[in-house]
Amino acid sequence: MHDLNIPGSPSTPAIQSDWQAGRLSMQGDSYPENSYELFRQVTDWTEAYLARASAPLALDLELVYLNTSSVKAMMDIFDLLEDAHQQGREVGVTWRYDSRNERIAELAEEFKEDCSYPFAITAMQAAP
Worst-scoring range by mean pLDDT, 7-11, 27-31, 32-36? 32-36
pTM above threshold 0.85: yes
Question: Torsion angle, CA of 6/88/115/37, rounded to 10 degrees?
Answer: 30
pLDDT number for residue 82: 98
Residue ranges of E strands in 67-106 = 91-98
> For residue 128, how far is the Cα from the chain centroid?
27
**Would you tell me the crossing angle of helices 68-86 and 102-113 to the nearest 10 degrees?**
40
**pLDDT category, 128, cuts 50, 70, 90?**
low
Tell me what the pLDDT averaged over the chain comes to. 95
Domains with residue ranges and CATH for the chain: 5-124 (3.30.750.24)
Kindly indicate the confidence band of residue 125, based on its pLDDT and cuts at 50, 70 and 90: confident
